[in-house]
Structure 1
Amino acid sequence: MPQRVTSASLATVLSATLLTGCGAFGLSSGDDATRTVTVWLMENSASPDFLKRFTADFEAKNAGIKLDIQIQPWVGIGPKITKALKGSNPPDVIEVGNTQVAQYAVGGGLEDLTLEAMRDLGSDDWLPGLAEPGSIDAAQYGIPWYAANRVVVYNKDLFAKAGIKQPPADRRQWIRDTRKLNTAGNQGIYLAGQDWYTLSGFIWDEGGELAVESGGQWSGTLDSKAALAGMDFYKELQALGQGPKDADEEHPPQREVFGRGNVGQIVATPGTAKLIEDKNPALRGKIGFFPVPGKSAKRPGTVFTGGSELVVPRATDQRRSAVKVVSALAGDKWQVELARAMNYVPNKAKLSAAVGGEEGLLTMAKGAKYGRATPSSPKWGDVEAKNPIKPYMTQVLTGADPKTAAKAASLSITTTLQKVGE
């Protein structure tokens, strides 16, 4: 797990700043805050109305700074950002996926924003699933912008018919309730065999990891006792439905399967409900949400946190202005506004109550407090590209020895993470 810098180490950072000059404060001589700040944001991350309101407010409060917000497509963005970071004239602020910060920080391509994170942005309160992947070797390169995570989306009518009066609060009750839903031709749950994000949460709940770092080297750990326990629970739950064992949640799209009306539950983001209702209006008002249950009723289960971070390229010639933009976007006022506009979870759990009472968002926020992200290795993207976790899951679900299959998948992860010169 990456180290996080908290307020306890602020004095150390301040001392280092005094020794190295004013650059860490963003006060370099070439940064006069009277020019255009170029911001790359990803498509569909924020609505046009939000961006219009933010731009007007920011420019009114920061005389002399103009924003040039450029929307980028997700497809092909990795190579584009890498090229920009190596150039002499990159954008001044870039939105990146929370699991991508490490790969861009390698080689010194990003500004260290540790001081701003602690001094101005309340980093102690950030969601762990956003804060951790943005922190590399105790330095904060990514500033959390927004989060989203999976919850259990359920059919209220099927729950009522099965005599289930309230959603389960722990794993064992979840299993019992799911069995009750398997009546009259209904499926208690639709869980695809290769939904590795959901599996990751179960592994983390058991105290396991997908991979760990030691002495600068990363190794896959799916064959640990804790990780195998997470896979064992996944197998038990997956068997209570008719999900495919050799495909992920998009093949076929699980929202379409749920939309037929005979599936009790899926694990998905709350926004999936609207897509389901649009496809099958008969389900409108009949879809509910609850956090993925944990091992005990004391807290929800751990979930994978997806989302975005804001980074500042090292080669920017206007660090101070760029940091002002990041601070505004990641600050409390615009965090609440963005969450309201896009049904996101704000970067701080305490802000969720200010967003509103929408059931799906509030449920997602409860789980986000216990969110995690994938390992912060700069090569984790290469692991996902070939993704040995998916076939490993299929092997276990179809009868292979779990430990043998996990060892092979762990070796594949290790080999990818330790490749040199790629």
Structure 2
Amino acid sequence: MRRFARVLPVIGMSGMGLAGLGVCLPAMAQSTEITVATVNNPDMVTMQSMMSAFHQAHPDIKVNWVTLPENELRQKVTTDIASGAGQYDVVTVSNYETPIWAQNDWLKPLDEDLPEDYDVDDLLAPVKEGLSVDGELYALPFYAESSVTYYRKDLFEKAGIEMPEKPTWDQMKEFASKIHSPSDGVYGICLRGLPGWGQNMALFGTMVNSFGGRWFDMDWTPQLDSPEWKNAANAYVELLNDYGPPGVTSNGFTESETLFANGQCGMWVDSTVAASYVSDPDTSKVAEDVGFAQAPYQTTEKGSNWLFTWALAVPQSSQHQDAAETFIEWATSKDYINAVADEKGWLSVPPGTRQSTYDSADYKQAAPFAPLVEKAISSASPTDPSAQEVPYTGVQFVTIPQFQAIGTRVGQLMAAMLSGQQSVDDALSQGQAFTERLMQQTGKPQ
């Protein structure tokens, strides 16, 4: 890959001096502006605050930011890339979009341009695989997450119960019943109930897997009315109706995180990215009492913990691909992680992407939950997410274009179950019919 620093020595010379020497200023010596489209979450905010380090190394690249809510980001970026408008030079994508967009030739392949010191082999294997097509990377991981069980050690000790390393959902129900105390402002369990394919369905999709279910059989026939789906849905509804907080259909990740950090949840199953937040006394009232376990399973551990990655990619429509690649290499490098650790502390580094982070003694000391998080991410298997054979990849989602619509609709039906507007059987029957109809209209994936 071309490096801009190589042309810097001529920038300070006058135009007349250069002309007299018969030297033409290379095009890349001009200041290059790139536009980065990203989400407004803490790790991305940290990246923006580290830009002085990038500008010091690459003074000839100016970075403009477009920061949007997740749903709006996806909509605008998809429209821009699909139309070839070229508004964005760097886009924030997940392991859901990346394989689909790469196959559409919307993203620039990256392997050939990555320098040796980027150390691709240091990337955690499941994370790297989720951003690759036919073994070639199309996005570089900024941070990655799986799911874990958070619980209150003080409440468990008081109730005389012990959390296993990887509980079953039946055990979670039993534990919730023993620590549920609404009169004391403590609910047995918090889970996402806010409808959305990236909200309640991220959690519920892994429940379905752990009950032995799948989204589609090998002929792409939907399986939402199967016994496994019904068993998972009944367990989900009973847990939250009997031992969850009120208004659960309004609680997504952020709301649940706040409830747990405020001491209102005895247990919470959600993203590993919250580990730092709930363990920090500055942000969590229960920091000293937080325990960690693997995400629950029921009949199988396959697909019981999710894998999600926020990554940076360069659209084929970008007019400044060299500068864009320079930026995403910097933002996802070992040097960037170390720079964040030096300036903001190890708890602020983007987690889940590199083995070297989890090998760091300093990181382990600052984040005692690190080994559990590494195990959760490393054990996630998007290519083998169910006890039954499946034609798709993805743990909490299915990597096909139709899934956003399917997940959104089924998420709404799950919320209707929780609020008592529909029975489990009726809601899943509607989800089955919707998915069958959509797949008939769009055709089976190739």
Q: TM over 0.5, yes or no?
A: yes
Q: What is the aligned length?
A: 382
Q: Which of 289, 292, 296 lines up with 1:289 in the alignment?
A: 292
Q: Distance in 2 between matches of 1:77 and 1:320?
A: 23
Kept in 2, the 8 Å contact 1:168–1:174? The answer is no
In the TM superposition, 1:329-348 aligns within 5 A as 329-335=331-337, 337=339, 340=346, 342-348=348-354
The residue number in structure 2 matching 1:50 is 50
Query: What percentage of aligned pairs have identical amino acids?
Result: 18
Q: Distance in 2 between matches of 1:232 and 1:92?
A: 45
Q: Which of 411, 414, 417 lines up with 1:395 in the alignment?
A: 417
Aligned to 1:388, the other structure's residue is in SS state helix
* 1:137-186: CA deviation from partner (whole Å, max 9, x where unpaired): 76543332212344323223212211235555331544443343246955
Question: 1:292 deviation in Å?
Answer: 1.6
Kept in 2, the 8 Å contact 1:294–1:302? The answer is yes
The residue number in structure 1 matching 2:404 is 381
The residue number in structure 1 matching 2:377 is 368
Q: Residues 209 and 113 (structure 1 numbering): CA distance in 2 closer, same or farther, change over 3 Å? A: farther
The residue number in structure 2 matching 1:242 is 244
Supply the AA of the counterpart residue of 2:404: G
Q: Which has the higher contact order (CA 8 A, sep 6+)?
A: 1
* 1:358-393: CA deviation from partner (whole Å, max 9, x where unpaired): 245554443222344522222433334x43234146
Q: Which of 38, 63, 67 lines up with 1:68 in the alignment?
A: 63
Q: Distance in 2 between matches of 1:319 and 1:89?
A: 11
The residue number in structure 2 matching 1:81 is 77
TM-score by length of 1: 0.70
Q: Distance in 2 between matches of 1:397 and 1:286?
A: 31
- 2:169 is equivalent to residue 164 of structure 1: no
- Alignment RMSD: 4.4
* 1:309-363: CA deviation from partner (whole Å, max 9, x where unpaired): 2111113345444334333333333345558463532323553242343245554
Deviates more, 1:345-354 or 1:177-186: 177-186
Aligned to 1:159, the other structure's residue is in SS state helix
Q: Distance in 1 between matches of 2:77 and 2:409?
A: 23
Q: Distance in 2 between matches of 1:34 and 1:212?
A: 55
Q: Residues 174 and 79 (structure 1 numbering): CA distance in 2 closer, same or farther, change over 3 Å? A: closer
Q: Distance in 1 between matches of 2:123 and 2:295?
A: 22
Q: Residues 295 and 334 (structure 1 numbering): CA distance in 2 closer, same or farther, change over 3 Å? A: farther
Q: Which runs of 5+ in 2 are unaligned?
A: 4-25, 195-199, 381-394
Question: 1:67 deviation in Å?
Answer: 4.3
Kept in 1, the 8 Å contact 2:36–2:64? The answer is yes
In the TM superposition, 1:309-324 aligns within 5 A as 309-324=311-326
Q: Which runs of 5+ in 1 are unaligned?
A: 1-24
Kept in 1, the 8 Å contact 2:206–2:303? The answer is yes
Q: Distance in 1 between matches of 2:84 and 2:396?
A: 29
* 1:205-233: CA deviation from partner (whole Å, max 9, x where unpaired): 3453345786xxx6643334544454354
Supply the AA of the counterpart residue of 1:377: I
Kept in 1, the 8 Å contact 2:277–2:284? The answer is no
Kept in 2, the 8 Å contact 1:143–1:326? The answer is yes
Q: Distance in 2 between matches of 1:231 and 1:416?
A: 22
Q: Distance in 1 between matches of 2:349 and 2:416?
A: 33
The residue number in structure 1 matching 2:213 is 208
In the TM superposition, 1:217-256 aligns within 5 A as 220-235=222-237, 237-238=239-240, 241-243=243-245, 247-250=249-252, 253-255=255-257
Kept in 1, the 8 Å contact 2:237–2:417? The answer is no
Q: Distance in 2 between matches of 1:414 and 1:123?
A: 41
Q: Distance in 1 between matches of 2:241 and 2:151?
A: 18
Kept in 1, the 8 Å contact 2:261–2:287? The answer is no
The residue number in structure 1 matching 2:109 is 112
Deviates more, 1:176-185 or 1:139-148: 176-185
Q: Distance in 2 between matches of 1:53 and 1:109?
A: 30
The residue number in structure 1 matching 2:19 is none
* 1:237-295: CA deviation from partner (whole Å, max 9, x where unpaired): 446513458715249933454466453112234268559966884x4533333332345
The residue number in structure 2 matching 1:268 is 270
Question: 1:71 deviation in Å?
Answer: 4.0
The residue number in structure 1 matching 2:145 is 148
Q: Residues 99 and 54 (structure 1 numbering): CA distance in 2 closer, same or farther, change over 3 Å? A: same
